[in-house]
Amino acid sequence: LSCTFPVFFSQLFLEKYGYFSEPGPGTHSPAEFTEALRDFQRVTHLPPSGVLDAPTLRQMALPRCGTDDGESRAAGPRRASPARRRRRTAQHGGRWYKRHLRYRVVNWPSYLPQHEVRLAVRAAFELWSNVSSLLFWEAQDGPADIRLTFFHGDHNDGLNNAFDGPGGALAHAFFPRRGEAHFDSAERWSLHSGKGRNLFIVVAHEVGHTLGLEHSPVKSALMSPYYKKLSKDFVLSWDDILAVQNLYGKPSKGSAIQLPGKVFTHFQDWNTDLYGRDRQQRSLSTYYCHSFFDAITTDGDHNLYIFKGSHYWVVSESGNASDPRPLQPRWPGLPAGIDACAWSQLSGKFYFFKGGRCWRYAGSKLEAGFPRKCSALGLPRHPDTALYFQQLRRLVLFKGPKYFVVGEEPLGAEPYYPRSLRDWAGLPPGTAGALTHRDGSVYFFRDDQYWKFDQAKLQVVASGKWAAQLAWMGCWDANSEQVLF
């Protein structure tokens, strides 16, 4: 029994997820079983031995989407047989023939706050609308194109789609134009990046299916069949974006917006004004207000520059935020997801840092010799924060519990550095950015918090939540006196 059970389990698994060309468990020859096993091993990036070994069984036991692996099997190095291709084409994919789709959250786990669930679902849909021509609207009751529902066990989708309790299949969805995504109520769902299955990441995956996307063979893709924890570095992969744009085209206005996963890890921080009718344009211009950004700096005209992913925002001295702008036209050659940025009051140049490299721009022109390996000049790799510090007439880079003072000409760390962060009394490690404000204070930021540093006293004199308390950050609507989404 101990030998035959894994084989029987794996046959049922391969049958459920579409690895046999003809249905019917127990009717497959050893050669068919070996070939199906090889297919599965290719899709999951295991050695395609065709042998039911321990790594293969472990992979089969991992939590995943309950929709079968369809097209992802054909995308590997081996071509699928015509019979298999016909079956996938007949049963899978499809697309919606309209651009505006309504969705409805029919029910949700009672232990999750309703408004947070709705925010997570909306964010999951926006992940796709940000990179395609689609637009989504929530229907709180009545008919909808796409319905999201939680079920226990067998829920009349056929025994092959019955939910299996915690682990295993977490959810499944149907291709257009059925418009259904089902989630296993027996899972422990969460809206945070800690314990439990992250609802946002699973909904975003299942929404992909309802739009017509197959499972992806690309391991890092959201549409990969296996559950992945939501990390702050998560973004849609190139494979996800190409797949949805192949069906629906690029965004009708502007360029695709990639939001990093750290925007979505704490939905309790999001403001429920998201559902106001005038929020469509506001949400774009204030996405950085969701508690996280990559870097921040300010120029000589007191304009703020706020960086997130492949875009940046400019907030004027009056607190008006621009729409998100792509990095490339403004700073050609600059990569997405920078670690730190500072504008130098001494030279009028922008400095950017990512990994061990740095970039220096005069206006929009990348200076000769850049990017260069700044870690070779004594600068830290992946700095947390960069700042031009007027008292020293130098750049300061912060990394963990230490800071470095950096000269510009020639570029390099000054002697006797790094020093302990204790010199900056009251400042926590791991800040995301800093700037010198026109009031003379230096403001440091981390997550949704800020620290106000007095340059004369050399200590932190105030702290709080920057989106709500610092009107000049562009997140404060003076008319309604509410924090914008």
Are the CB atoms for 442 and 398 separated by under 8 Å?
no
Q: Is 362 annotated as a binding residue?
A: no
Residues 6+ apart with CB under 8 A from 262: 232, 233, 292
Q: Is 152 annotated as a binding residue?
A: no
Q: Is 165 annotated as a binding residue?
A: yes
User: Which residues pair with residue 404 across a beta bridge?
Assistant: 397
Q: Is 309 annotated as a binding residue?
A: no
Q: Is 141 annotated as a binding residue?
A: no
Q: Is 187 annotated as a binding residue?
A: yes
Q: Give me the amino acid identity at 80.
A: A
**Distance in angstroms (rounded) separating the CA atoms of residues 53 and 37:** 10
Q: Is 289 annotated as a binding residue?
A: no
**Distance in angstroms (rounded) separating the CA atoms of residues 264 and 202:** 13
**Distance in angstroms (rounded) separating the CA atoms of residues 13 and 299:** 58
Residues 6+ apart with CB under 8 A from 204: 123, 124, 127, 128, 222
Q: Give me the amino acid identity at 45.
A: H
* CA-to-CA dists, residue 69 to 128, 213, 340, 395, angstroms: 21, 11, 40, 52
Q: Is 296 annotated as a binding residue?
A: yes
Q: Is 28 annotated as a binding residue?
A: no
Are the CB atoms for 210 and 236 separated by under 8 Å?
no
Q: Is 339 annotated as a binding residue?
A: yes
**Distance in angstroms (rounded) separating the CA atoms of residues 125 and 123:** 5
Residues 6+ apart with CB under 8 A from 245: 131, 132, 256
Residues 6+ apart with CB under 8 A from 98: none
**Distance in angstroms (rounded) separating the CA atoms of residues 260 and 264:** 8
Which tokens in the block code for residue 303? 């304009």
Residue of 45, 102, 118, 470 whose CA lies nearest to 267: 118
Residues with a catalytic annotation lie at 206
Q: Is 205 annotated as a binding residue?
A: yes
**Distance in angstroms (rounded) separating the CA atoms of residues 101 and 129:** 10
Are the CB atoms for 173 and 210 separated by under 8 Å?
yes
Tell me the Cα Rg of the chain. 26
**Distance in angstroms (rounded) separating the CA atoms of residues 226 and 233:** 18
Residues 6+ apart with CB under 8 A from 393: 346
Q: Is 154 annotated as a binding residue?
A: no
Q: Is 65 annotated as a binding residue?
A: yes
Sign of CA dihedral 202, 204, 208, 209: positive
Q: Report the binding-site residues.
A: 65, 145, 155, 157, 164-165, 172, 182, 184, 187, 205, 209, 215, 223, 294, 296, 339, 386
Q: Report the binding-site residues for Zn(2+).
A: 65, 155, 157, 172, 182, 205, 209, 215, 223
Q: Report the binding-site residues for Ca(2+).
A: 145, 164-165, 184, 187, 294, 296, 339, 386
